[in-house]
Structure formats: C-alpha cells, structure tokens
C-alpha cells in the first residue's frame, strides 16, 4: 500500500510540474495528490479503528490543502505548481526508496 501511495504522489507531483505548460495536468495532479495525501494521512494512525484513520486522513488532506491555498494566495500559480510538485516527487521518491518496515517484534 505504501508503494502505491508513493507512486500516486510522484505521478501527481509530475502532473503539477507540467501544469504550467499543459492546463489539463493541474486538476489531474490535484486529484492524484489529494488521494496520495489522504492515504498518507491515514498512515499517521498506526493502530486504531478505521474511522480514526479516515478522520486523520481527511484532516491531513485539509491541512495540506490549506497550506497550498495560502501559497496560491501569496505566490503565482506557476511557482506553486512547480514547488509543490517538486516536493511531492521528492517525498514520493524517498518513500519508494525506503525499505518496508520489518514485521516482527525481534527483527531490526
């Protein structure tokens, strides 16, 4: 699941990096990044009921969305698309390159 979320983040980030030149990529990238951010937010709650994970995911999505909106209010859209897209690509790439956590209480 973690790899899928990372790939979605990378694809959404690449869409936003290309959005200043191709208008259709902005909403596609926004949708991909929304899914990726919400899924990443559900991973903030390691153990807990499903409803708590969903609330954490939606809350994280709202937080990131509000930060992006503040950036869009203060900067031009091209800068926001390029910067946020680059951050999404880097974070998704780091998540893809990391080893999955081991399963077991005595493994390192």
Q: How many CA atoms lie within 13 A of 39 on its CB side?
A: 16
Q: Using the predicted structure, report yes or no on whether residue 67 has a pLDDT greater than 90.
A: yes
65, 89, 94: which is closest to 16 by C-alpha? 89
Per-residue pLDDT tens for 5-53?
999 999 999 999 999 899 899 999 999 999 999 999 998 888 889 999 9
Q: What are phi and psi of 16, to 5 degrees?
A: -70, -30
Between 105 and 11, whose confidence is greater? 11
Domains of the chain by residue range: 2-97
């Amino acid at each position: 699941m973690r790899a899928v979320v990372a790939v979605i983040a990378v694809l959404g980030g690449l869409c936003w990096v290309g959005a200043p030149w191709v208008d259709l990529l902005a909403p596609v990238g926004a949708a991909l990044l929304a899914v990726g951010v919400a899924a990443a937010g559900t991973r903030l709650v390691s153990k807990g009921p499903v409803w708590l994970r969903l609330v954490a995911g939606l809350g994280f999505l709202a937080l990131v969305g509000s930060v992006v909106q503040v950036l869009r209010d203060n900067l031009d859209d091209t800068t926001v698309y390029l910067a946020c897209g680059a951050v999404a690509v880097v974070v998704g790439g780091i998540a893809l390159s990391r080893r999955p956590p081991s399963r077991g209480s005595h493994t390192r």
